Structure 1
Amino acid sequence: MNAKSARLRRLPVIGAVAASAVLLLAGPASAHVSVQPGTAEKGGYSTIAFKVPNEKDNASTVKLEVTLDPKHPLASVMPQPVPGWEVKVEKAKLDKPLQMHGKTIDEAVSKITWTGGKIDPGQFQQFPLSVGQLPTDADELVFKALQTYSDDDVVRWIDPSKPGGAEAEHPAPTLKLVAKGAAAGKGDDHDDKTNGKGADGKTESASGTSDDKDGGSDTTARVLGVVGIVVGAAGVAFGLIAGRRRSAA
């Protein structure tokens, strides 16, 4: 086998390695069920939305179950209709009744289930809720979400945050509660409106831009990684070719 033939045989191998690395780095990042905006004011009312991305390539999301934080019951929880989806609201008796506008509330929403629609591969859907009055004695509300796929697989987004800020494998959607004026998005003043067109999943609300920025940063890092792999593979190929030429000479 002459030097030229050996060189030609090695180039496809190098190309395959580089292509595999590119595909690996360019693959979609794992997306989580999250609550947006991520912060709300203590003691106020807010419109939030559960953002549900479909992570599977061969199955659709057909059901979402959200259990509210039992440690901090909310007197008012109202789902906004989502086209194509049916919503079921479940309530539970409270050990300690709540006071709201001069009335005693002895039960509160404990679980909300959306069914009947589907989120296809490569898409996401938002499920809005108007909630309040948010607690003043807590720094966060933790929701537990179950995402059911058309292949009967159930992903349980229920893991609590890890010490030190490390992300859990299936983190529970968490709404951070902050002092008045510090929230990323404004409360709805007990208004049942949502920001933008989040109900049908076609338009992000302005308050959800932080998630998009995080995604943009991740994409940028991945692109730079891909460029580095390609440049490195090209350098290896050039080195092999140059070496073979010197050997042949």
Structure 2
Amino acid sequence: MSKNASRLRPSSALLRRLPVVGGVAAGSLLLVAGPAFAHVSVQPGTAEKGGYSTIALKVPNEKDNASTVQLELDLDPKHPLASVMPQPVPGWDVKVEKSKLDKPLEMHGKTITEAVTKVTWSGGKIDPGQFQQFALSVGQLPTDADELVFKALQTYSDNDVVRWIDASKPGGEEPEHPAPTLKLVDKGTLNGGAAAKPDAKAGAKDAKDAKDENAAAKDDQGDGTDTTARVLGIVGIVVGVAGVAFGVVAGRRRTAA
């Protein structure tokens, strides 16, 4: 082999290092990409327009050296909600703030002049590597909007505040700190809507099949009973014949004696 070829061929030591270098590079990529998926979000992310829903703010702790100690949620002022009720979270205090509406709401025959505009949870903590859900019962959801955007401020024990307030653009890249968003869909379209209606013909066919199966089962049961009876009859005949034979042999022995 020529000297040039020897120079071009990698050494065995370098070949041994390649998997290690590749593993470190892949691990570094995961560490960089991982936190991008861990952001404050609304669960579930979809609800029906004009209805009531129970949602939860899912809050992960993204830091390794600090805990989340407060979450402040600002509701969409363009689409006020007449009813916002937080579910108690053990270890956390909750504060609900209301503001007067520029335009009163009419709901269930009542005029609503103020609505909840901010909810704050504090006093607890979310440790590194953990998350917490803060549930809210909300309604009546608007019928003239396709989404509700909430702005959330996440405060850490080191006084760092992460502002989840960036708007997401359809078809665009996700912002660094996207605001939690609840998508709103028309009534009847959630969970398949009309697709879940039963098929009458299919139901009739299933009923007929079930009837045929029951009839077949009864026939099989009857056949089994007949077979059992035949076996018992044959056994009885064999036993009877054996008894007669035994009697004849015993009689001959007595006569010979």
1:88 correspondence with 2:92: no
Question: Which of the two has higher C-alpha Rg?
Answer: 2
- Residue 59 in 1 paired to residue 66 in 2? yes
Please state how far the C-alpha of 1:104 moved relative to its aligned partner.
1.0
Whole-angstrom CA distance in 2 between matches of 1:128 and 1:92 = 21
Structure 2 equivalent of residue 18 of structure 1: 22
In structure 1, runs of 5+ residues without a counterpart are 187-249
* 1:75-134 alpha-carbon deviations (Å, 9 max, x no partner): 000000011100000000001111222111100000000001111111110000000000
User: What are the superposed Cα offsets for residues 178-226 of structure 1, whole Å, 9 maximum, x if unpaired?
Assistant: 001223599xxxxxxxxxxxxxxxxxxxxxxxxxxxxxxxxxxxxxxxx
8 Å Cα contact 2:35-2:62 kept in structure 1: no
Specify whether residues 19 and 175 from structure 1 end up closer, same or farther in structure 2 by C-alpha distance, changes over 3 A only. same
Q: What residue in structure 2 maps to residue 154 of structure 1?
A: 161
Equivalent AA in structure 2 for residue 111 of structure 1: K
Point out where structure 2 has 5 or more consecutive residues left out of the alignment. 1-5, 194-257
Residues in 1 aligned to 2:116 and 2:172: alpha-carbon distance in whole angstroms: 29
Give the alignment's Cα RMSD to 1 decimal: 2.0
Q: Is the 8 A contact 1:40 1:184 kept in 2?
A: no
Query: In 2 relative to 1, CA 147–77 (structure 1 residues): closer, same or farther, beyond 3 Å?
Result: same
Q: Please state how far the C-alpha of 1:148 moved relative to its aligned partner.
A: 0.5
1-structure distance, mates of 2:53, 2:30: 36
The structure-2 alpha-carbon separation of the partners of 1:60 and 1:171, relative to structure 1 and needing over 3 Å to count, comes to same
- Compare the two structures and name the one with the higher helix fraction: 2
Aligned residue pairs, count: 182
Please give the alpha-carbon distance, in whole angstroms, between the structure 1 residues aligned to 2:178 and 2:191.
21
Deviates more, 1:166-175 or 1:62-71: 166-175
Q: TM-score, normalised by structure 2?
A: 0.66
* In structure 2, C-alpha distance between the alignment counterparts of 1:29 and 1:88, rounded to whole Å: 29
CA positional deviation for 1:149:
0.7
Rounded to whole Å, the distance in 1 between the matches of 2:192 and 2:153 is 26
Match among 49, 52, 55 for residue 56 of structure 2: 49
1:225 equivalent in structure 2 = none
After TM superposition, the structure 1 = structure 2 runs for residues 96-111 of structure 1, keeping only pairs within 5 Å, are 96-111=103-118
* DSSP 3-state at the match of 1:122: coil
Query: What does residue range 101-140 of structure 1 map to in structure 2 within 5 Å?
Result: 101-140=108-147
The runs of at least 4 consecutive aligned structure 1 residues that moved more than 6 Å come to none
Q: Percent identity?
A: 76
- On the 8 A contact 1:37/1:184 being kept in 2, the answer is no
